[in-house]
Structure 1
């Protein structure tokens, strides 16, 4: 039986991802690899991380969309002012744009500034936006669901607002009662444990498995290995502010 490796919330920490794949001895011909979103923002290498994710997908991995990829698309393609200010001002989009070589002065707006969608041109950025738009929100298998944030209790996946799949937290964590095991990221596991020092994979009693170790916040990047539910992790070397 093939191993299944699951990783989430890389947030531009390419070195940690590379080290984690090596530590887990990932081999595309022998293993399945699921990446659960949030490849970008806050960390130093968002562009390079997306290049790596595309390379992994071309080699057979499955990549899902996260809420940070969704913010990126809504900011750069839809030109939504509220999302733009939120993405670049609070959620690490500034680090992502800088990784493509854009200067902060070309895309940051202050509270009193009149908003006009910046014109940012980059072949890599355009290719990455096209890739992100192609990503699914979830993968459902006979006994498992792979997803970024979680499922809406009592609502079929195919009928759920995609916003919920990318952003849901407590309602899912506390009220999920489905028969399938849900493997998700998005919420750092220290919050699920209620322990600031515990970034390990969270195995909930209600068939939920949270794997976001808060790597970009100074925690760790986790890899869940199935079917044995084994954990392989790489510790972070740097800390950034704790946002969503």
Structure 2
């Protein structure tokens, strides 16, 4: 039976990502790799992670969008002070732009309010990554599982759920989901789900939810879930 390997919330941790794929013995010819989003921000090597993710997709991996990729996309599309500073200053986008070789001075916006303009950053690699992000899906569903970045609205079919919910939802999904299909998700660090700041293990909820975000970029671990065996691999 084909293995499904799931990883989420890499957040620029390129070396950990490489090591985890090796540890899980991932083979693109034999396994199905599903990546659940948040490849960028906060960590040091977001550009390298996206390069690898693109390569993995070309070799068959299924790649979903996370809220951080969406924030990056919005910052460049909306070009407002709020969108730019929310991404770069609050959500780790500054570290992402530094990974493309820009300097701190180059990534500062000019002006304030309605007069604010985002910097004109020239990078073929960045342009390729933004185009890649634009085409990512929000979820996939099979006979037994739903794979998604953050979760689903427990009250409506996933096919009718808006993108913002799928990449941002937390407690309403964690506590309210009662569906028969198991939902595998990232986004919320498992230490929060376990209610234990030192427990970064994969979280198996009693209501058919499995959280795999081990909070690697916050000092936790990068988790990998293998299905159908439910084997766990991780890099501290």
Which secondary structure state, in structure 1, belongs to the residue aligned with residue 86 of structure 2? helix
Name the stretch that deviates more: 90-99 or 106-115: 106-115
Structure 1 portions without partners, runs of 5+: 236-244
- The answer on whether the counterparts of 1:89 and 1:108 sit within 8 Å (CA) in structure 2 is no
Q: Tell me the equivalent position of 2:5.
A: 5
CA deviation digits over 1:102-149, x for unaligned, max 9?
111122359967521221111000000000001000001111000000
For the pair 1:90 / 2:100, whether they are aligned, the reply is no
For the pair 1:209 / 2:210, whether they are aligned, the reply is yes
For the pair 1:73 / 2:73, whether they are aligned, the reply is yes
Q: Tell me the equivalent position of 1:101.
A: 101
TM-score, normalisation: structure 1? 0.93
Shift of 1:203: 0.2
Q: Tell me the equivalent position of 2:149.
A: 148
CA deviation digits over 1:12-50, x for unaligned, max 9?
000000000001100011111000000000101000000
Q: Tell me the equivalent position of 1:239.
A: none
Q: Kindly report which structure 2 residues correspond to 1:58-69, keeping only aligned pairs within 5 A, or say none.
A: 58-69=58-69
Alpha-carbon distance in structure 1 between the residues aligned to 2:180 and 2:36: 20
For the pair 1:184 / 2:169, whether they are aligned, the reply is no
Alpha-carbon distance in structure 2 between the residues aligned to 1:150 and 1:127: 28
The 1:198/1:120 distance shift into structure 2, 3 A limit, reads same
Alpha-carbon distance in structure 2 between the residues aligned to 1:184 and 1:207: 11
CA deviation digits over 1:63-93, x for unaligned, max 9?
0000000000000122132121111011100
TM-score, normalisation: structure 2? 0.97
Structure 2 portions without partners, runs of 5+: none
Shift of 1:178: 0.8
When the two structures are aligned, how many residues end up with a matched partner?
Answer: 235
The 1:79/1:204 distance shift into structure 2, 3 A limit, reads same
Which secondary structure state, in structure 1, belongs to the residue aligned with residue 98 of structure 2? helix
- The answer on whether the counterparts of 1:74 and 1:80 sit within 8 Å (CA) in structure 2 is no
Alpha-carbon distance in structure 2 between the residues aligned to 1:136 and 1:80: 25
Q: Kindly report which structure 2 residues correspond to 1:1-244, keeping only aligned pairs within 5 A, or say none.
A: 1-109=1-109, 114-235=115-236
Q: RMSD across aligned C-alpha pairs, in angstroms?
A: 1.4
Alpha-carbon distance in structure 1 between the residues aligned to 2:86 and 2:102: 18
Name the stretch that deviates more: 7-16 or 152-161: 152-161
- The answer on whether the counterparts of 1:72 and 1:93 sit within 8 Å (CA) in structure 2 is yes
The 1:111/1:120 distance shift into structure 2, 3 A limit, reads closer
Alpha-carbon distance in structure 2 between the residues aligned to 1:188 and 1:110: 35
